[in-house]
Structures are given as structure tokens and as C-alpha cells.
Structure 1
């Protein structure tokens, strides 16, 4: 068979596998019934005018002992995790303010792209009360990254890095008393269903550190629904 034909067939097979994987991932996200809905907070003046305002507050932990996965950390007590849940719902055509409290340390990103704030109202976030637009790639603990795959719904991409807790502030047991707190604000479009994940390689030693918690639904990834 012609080599070009073989190559084309291989590309089609690989592409189909990727699409099937995305479909399975989205289905898994929907199967997790835990959901955190944004809290209405009046209105806010934005570059697009006055919009309904809502807030979300979540955290990142170095293990699963904070309680969001059940008694004694659930099935994977040692897994790093977001909490209290990993599926979120926000209103469409609104301005959303998210606060992420990070209790975990970190190392270096695989891709410096995710060290920058992207998709917020002015391209910035507040880190411990100070404006920031990026973090050193070797000081990132986690990211909150929403991917809007090509479809009939509005395009949506958001990525914000969370600063790692300094190694000397990470206790042997329990959680640090000096977490990093990141707050950012963005505007939603029309209704849609999106996937979010952490782009910091915080899994085990498999799949370039994207295994374990990074590839297990409900820890470092989830569903992000914009509801009309």
C-alpha cells in the first residue's frame, strides 16, 4: 500500500482516538454528581457594561485529607486535589470572581505558557492582594485552566497560575498556615459545557507526571458549566 495512504489512515485512527478520549472524559465529568454553583453577588461594572456578578471560592490541597473525598481521604488519600468539589456552575453573560486558596507546594511547569494569566478581564489576577500577570515557571503550584473545545458553543479559554507555597512553609503533617490566595475575574459568554484542569504536572511519575491524580476524575480536573 502507498506510504502516503498508510500515513493518512494512521492519522485518521489517531484523531478518532483523541476524539473518543475527549468524549469519555466529558462523560466521566458528568457522572460526578457533586456540583458547586456560583453565589450571586449583585452587579459589577465591566468593559462590557454592568453585568450580573457571582463568586466562587475553592482550594487546592497537597493530599485528599481535607474531607472533600470522604472519611480518611477516600480511595486515594495521598492524591493532590482541588476542593470542595471539581464541578462548577456559573451564570451565562455574567462576571465571575474566583478565589483559589492553594495549600500546596510546587516545582517547574512543563510549559511556560501556563505561568501567565490568560482570559481574565484585564489579563491580571490578585496574588495575596497584589496584582500579578504571571508567576515564575519554577514557582507555580497549580493552574486553573478552562478549555473551550471547538463546537457550536461560545469559545472559552481561561488559565490562571497559583503560586506554590514555599518549601519551608510546608509542614510534615496537615496543611500550611501560609497558603497563597489568588483571585481573578472573568466574563462568561453564552451557555456551554467546558472542561477545566490543572496544567502543572502534579501527578505521579507516569505520563510525564500527568498520571494518578492528574488523570483521575474529581481531583485535578472537572466540568465547568455556563448556565443560561
Structure 2
């Protein structure tokens, strides 16, 4: 290959690489969904979330996702959650996805929750079989990490389009944790559940509004 051809090839590669970086920034890092406030008032509030196997709508119909219910009872496609400082936050998560399993059994224990427990379908647990987990809800800065039990693979009436309803197959996970001083905290799922992406990461796993978001402590 001649020197001009090599220079051209390098130039094309650089332009392509820059284009990919710009696409990543525009598509994943600059989009912030609307905030959803917890219900109730300081010092005790409640967040209600759901996880779905596929969002079912544009721009990424096949992406796994979280949704949050606002104080009016409407499901919102957002993972920006607003809670008061120095308060007890009780979280209810309706889990509509099937089990993916945990690569590290460490995530099978609820951590950072009040009492070190969670309630799964009416039963108080301090550990979940790693093979039964579908997702996790984790706030590293608060030391909170909770595994979410998946729906059985052969469960009838499974949800395919969000928002899902309680008449469809699901598990219910409830837990509480305490907030501290005001701040912007990152939260996310640590289960590599992004089907179609290398090792299950990428796509919804790295995108605010899907499987990670912010806890706005105010």
C-alpha cells in the first residue's frame, strides 16, 4: 500500500472513530429523562418502580428497562428519582422480567437496607438464590444493593410491552433504606442483562433512563 493510501486509511479510521464517540455521547450521555418524585413527605417516602424485559416502544423497543410511577400514579419512562434528605425511603419494585442469574453470588444478599432484609412476594429474606435473580437495584454511595427475583421462564401471561400491569406475571420486592445529606447519587443494575451486547453490557446497561439513573437527594 502506498504512503498516500495509508494516510487516507488512517484518516478514514480517525473520522470513523470520532463519529462513533460523538454518537455515543449524543445517544447515551446527554439524554436525561424527567425526574420522578417519591410519594409521601419527609421523613418517610415511597418509590414504586417496575422492571420490564422489553420496553416495547421507540427508540429501543427491545431494550430491558426500569420505569417509575409518579405521585399521580402514572408510569414514567425515567430513572431519575427524587427523594428527601435524611429520610426513610421504602421502595416497591414490580419485577416482570425472567431470571438472568448473578455472576457473583455477592449480589444475592440485600445490603444497605433497613434490617439487612427485603420482602419478596410477602416473605422476608436476607438472601436470594443467585440463579433466581433477574436484576439488581444498587446505590453504591449508600451501600445499597438488592437482588430482584425473576419471573419463572414458563410463567403464563408474561408482559412484553411497558408499562406492565399487575395482572401480568411478576414478583414484588419491597425494601427500605435511609438517605443522608443532599446530593446526586448514581444507581444502577449490576446484572449484565443487555441482550445483544458484548457480555451483556452496553446499551440499556449504560444508559440513564433504562437500567441506571440518578437518585436526587434534596
- Tell me if TM exceeds 0.5: yes
**Structure 2: which 5+ runs fail to align?**
1-24, 68-75
Aligned length: 178
Moved >4 Å (runs of 4+): 170-173
Q: 2:22 is matched with which residue?
A: none
2:147 pairs, out of 138, 161, 171, with 161
Q: 1:145 is matched with which residue?
A: 138
Q: Take 2:202 and 2:192, find their aligned partners in 1: how far apart are those partners? A: 9
Q: How far is 1:198 from its partner?
A: 0.5
**Structure 1: which 5+ runs fail to align?**
1-23, 43-51, 66-72, 149-155
Q: Take 2:196 and 2:52, find their aligned partners in 1: how far apart are those partners? A: 19
Q: How far is 1:218 from its partner?
A: 1.4
Aligned ranges 1:206-225 → 2 under 5 Å: 206-225=197-216
Task: Provide Cα deviations, 1:76-131, integer angstroms capped at 9, x if missing partner.
Answer: 00001000321101100001101000000022212111111000110001111110
Which has the larger displacement, 122-131 or 33-42?
33-42
Cα distance change on mapping 1:172 and 1:183 into 2, 3 Å:
closer
Q: 1:28 is matched with which residue?
A: 29
Q: 1:126 is matched with which residue?
A: 119
Q: Take 1:190 and 1:41, find their aligned partners in 2: how far apart are those partners? A: 16
Tell me the secondary structure at the aligned position of residue 217 of structure 2.
strand
Q: Take 2:155 and 2:119, find their aligned partners in 1: how far apart are those partners? A: 21
Q: Contact 1:104/1:141 (CA < 8 Å) preserved in 2?
A: yes
Task: Provide Cα deviations, 1:46-90, integer angstroms capped at 9, x if missing partner.
Answer: xxxxxx10001010011112xxxxxxx121000010003211011
Q: 1:21 is matched with which residue?
A: none
Q: Contact 2:33/2:79 (CA < 8 Å) preserved in 1?
A: no
Tell me the secondary structure at the aligned position of residue 57 of structure 1.
strand
If the length of structure 2 is used for normalisation, what is the TM-score? 0.75
Q: Take 1:170 and 1:141, find their aligned partners in 2: how far apart are those partners? A: 17
Q: Contact 1:105/1:170 (CA < 8 Å) preserved in 2?
A: no
Tell me the secondary structure at the aligned position of residue 113 of structure 1.
helix
Compare CA radii of gyration and give the structure with the larger one.
Answer: 2
CA RMSD across the alignment: 2.0
If the length of structure 1 is used for normalisation, what is the TM-score? 0.72
